Structure 1
Amino acid sequence: MPAAERTTARLRLRRVSVDDLDAFVALEAALRPERTPDVVASARYLSAFTDVWERGELGYWTVLLHGEIVGFGGVQPKLWHGRRCWNLYYRVSPAHWGKGIATEVAREAVAAAREARPDWPVLVETRPWNAAAIRVAERVGLIRREDRDGYAVLLAEPGPEPEPGRS
């Protein structure tokens, strides 16, 4: 089973838990202040995230900075257009934007993915107007491909480590 906890220079990354629901809902509220978060839907997402770990796979982490939950991110397996890959995901509280946290999480997630299944590509699908998410993916070595199904697609193919951009 993959390591359920990792650390970076500043962050503690631990496997996501259903106990993180309040923080998950709070992050959704901070990211989308125009609408009330759907707690039931958030609980379903969180449960699906924890299920990945329960199956013995590498999954998403809860991101802590100085003991405070500041976001969620990591990689988990995904079947994308018939191809097994790692789905790279990162969401950080707006109060912590611009501090390199998403990039730090993404970099650690790509490293964990390469350790777990180096033969799988790493994928980010985001809306084409999500410039910040695209920049993070590019910083950790993913390359923009042709947009597909309404998403900007960034991919790091298996093989030698790509040269990441500067953060």
Structure 2
Amino acid sequence: MPEITFARLREIDPAEIAAHMSDARVAEHMPLLTFEWDPIAAERFIVSKERCWERDGLGHWAFLADGEYVGWGGFQKEGEEWDYGLVLKPERFGLGAQISRKAIDFARRDDRIPFVTFLLPPSRTNLSALKRLGAVLLGTHDYDGVRFLKYRLETA
């Protein structure tokens, strides 16, 4: 099993993030991904995620496996809720459970995060790992005109 570490997105080459986000297998479960990624778009993305860190003291990370970039995600404040997201390179999809366990353990130790929400597109049909964590389906949620399944996991 690889060693999983979290880094800031600004530590990753924007061209690598652009290549990751340009993969059609990534876009398959990201209905809000409606533009083409290039290094400039990736740089804008990194800047927007760094603003979350400045505003909230927490935000999305780059996920590394044995020091290699494998994806991004983490916690982003949506109103009063902390939403968890995970976007991995397709060849690293198998690391999702390991990365998510580490992130959820972080949330359980952070007093700012009494619960975590997850917004998943209805195209995601294998939700057994989420249910094993103890997440409960709250229903559907519209975000930017797109319907998502919304789950909640108590962390406190």
Aligned to 1:87: 83
Match of 2:148 among 134, 139, 151: 151
Aligned to 1:67: 67
For 1:67 and 1:18, locate their aligned partners in 2 and report how far apart those are by CA, in whole Å.
12
Gaps of 5+ in 1: 1-7, 160-167
Instruction: Report % sequence identity.
Output: 22
Q: CA RMSD in A?
A: 2.6
Whether contact under 8 Å (1:11, 1:66) holds in the other structure is yes
Greater percentage in strand: 2
Matched, 1:45 2:42: no
Q: Give matches, 1:18-57, under 5 Å.
A: 19-30=12-23, 31-32=26-27, 36-55=36-55, 57=57
CA positional deviation for 1:9: 6.3
Distance 1:95 1:9, change over 3 A: closer
Deviation readout 1:85-124 (Å, 9 max, x if unpaired)? 2110101111112x2x112222222222222235532011
Gaps of 5+ in 2: 29-34
For 2:67 and 2:122, locate their aligned partners in 1 and report how far apart those are by CA, in whole Å.
33
So what's the TM-score if we normalise by structure 2? 0.76
Distance 1:139 1:49, change over 3 A: farther
Greater relative contact order (Cα < 8 A, sep 6+): 2
So what's the TM-score if we normalise by structure 1? 0.72
Whether contact under 8 Å (1:73, 1:106) holds in the other structure is no
For 1:127 and 1:118, locate their aligned partners in 2 and report how far apart those are by CA, in whole Å.
26
Whether contact under 8 Å (1:60, 1:72) holds in the other structure is yes
Number of matched residues? 144
Q: Give matches, 1:5-16, under 5 Å.
A: 10-16=3-9
